Amino acid sequence: MKVTINDVAKYAGVSIKTVSRVTNKEPSVKQATIDKVNQAITALNYQPNLAARNLASTSSYVIGFIYDNPNAYYVIDMQNGILSACKDRGFELLIHPCNAKSETICDELTTMVKHARLAGLVLTPPMSEDPNILAALDQIGANYVKIIAGEKIINSNGLTVLVNDQRGAVEITQHLIDLGHKHIAFLSGDLQHESTKERLLGFKKALKNNSLILNTDWVLEGEYSFESGLAGANKLIAMAKRPTAIVACNDEIAAGALFAARLAGLDIPTELSIVGFEDSPFSRQTWPKLTTVHQPNIEIAQIATQLLIDKRKNQTTETFRCFTPTPVIRNSTTSPT
């Protein structure tokens, strides 16, 4: 026979409402009561029906994760971080991939918020950086937290987690310059993402800081994919005057560039140094392993979700966190020959 909340309340010697408050992790419950209820839950192996709780309650206990990103590792890290925060606070996770370029994206998201009775949304780029989407969500009073790229917040209201991609790009480019590289290329990701623009700005800033000339022929537009890195690197390698180093906008692009270089017979890193960004598994699965920039995506997602839930429960007044990615030096970079 399935154990019910009534059984837990009877075993613990408390009311059903008290059990509900403990399982919902509501504040102002005495620790002794929490311990008593948790002991009963463990003894009876009670499994709360979160879906039923969400339907029966006037409050929602579901957080939505909205994304449009081709990088599977990024998506998985975000899911894991959000799920960890949800479990800690007694919430469920609804995952919703979408097409940010769709003409109906605003209607799609507002309809989902209403029908799924979401407690809040974790928005990742490019949706988190789209003013039309944010305005549509504001219009229906939706709760959300934005994960965005930028050096600082400008005219941003609401919950925000800022990732300083520009600083990370400055530091990884400076690493190449410190090795002696003066001829450095940049392989871009999707321009729809602010992270692409911020990483390019950081790249340019590092060159300027060191009085190095930017060769615009070596700055190639692309996408956040292995294939884009492969195509971009092939173009650079075929040039009469080619760079001695490449800054790739993420690790997938960098892995594609490394593959192209090896097919062309170039030794990495003695003939061409390559760096990535994000420190995804791609950076550790190549040979040689990629020098990159560590971006703690699981922690970023976890903090964003904690801010959202705690704000929803009126347990915090905090509205902002900032992360600065840092270089990870491996074997794909060395001094130019």
> 291 and 329 in contact (C-beta within 8 Å)?
yes
Classify residue 133: in a domain, yes or no: yes
Distance separating alpha carbons of residues 329 and 93, to the nearest angstrom: 35
304 and 249 share one domain: no
18 and 80 share one domain: no
pLDDT, averaged across the chain: 89
For 156, counting Cβ atoms within 10 Å of its Cβ (0-12 exposed, 13-18 middle, 19+ buried), the class is: middle
Q: Compute, in degrees rounded to 10, the torsion defined by CA atoms 218, 223, 227, 231.
A: -20
| Angle at the Cα of 212 from the Cα atoms of 207 and 214, rounded to 5 degrees | 75
321 and 175 share one domain: no
List the domain range (segments joined by +) for residue 93.
62-164+296-326
71-101 residue pLDDT tens: 888 999 999 999 999 988 888 899 989 898 8
210-231 residue pLDDT tens: 999 999 999 999 999 999 999 9
The enclosing domain of 39 has a CATH number of: 1.10.260.40
The enclosing domain of 211 has a CATH number of: 3.40.50.2300
Closest of 320, 283, 300 to residue 80, by C-alpha:
300
Q: What is the DSSP string of 252-306?
A: HHHHHHHHHHHHTT--TTTT-EEE-SB--HHHHHSSSPPBEEE--HHHHHHHHHH
Number of residues that this document lists for the chain: 337
Classify residue 72: in a domain, yes or no: yes
What's the predicted TM-score (pTM) here?
Answer: 0.81
91-131 residue pLDDT tens: 889 998 989 888 999 999 999 888 878 889 999 999 999 99
Cα separations (Å) of 66 from 12, 145, 195, 209? 39, 11, 17, 38
DSSP class of residue 30?
-
Looking at the 3D structure of the chain, how many domains does it have? 3
- 């994000």: which residue's tokens? 278
228 and 124 share one domain: no
Query: How many Å separate Cα 233 from the centre of its chain?
Result: 26
33 and 87 share one domain: no
74 and 182 share one domain: no
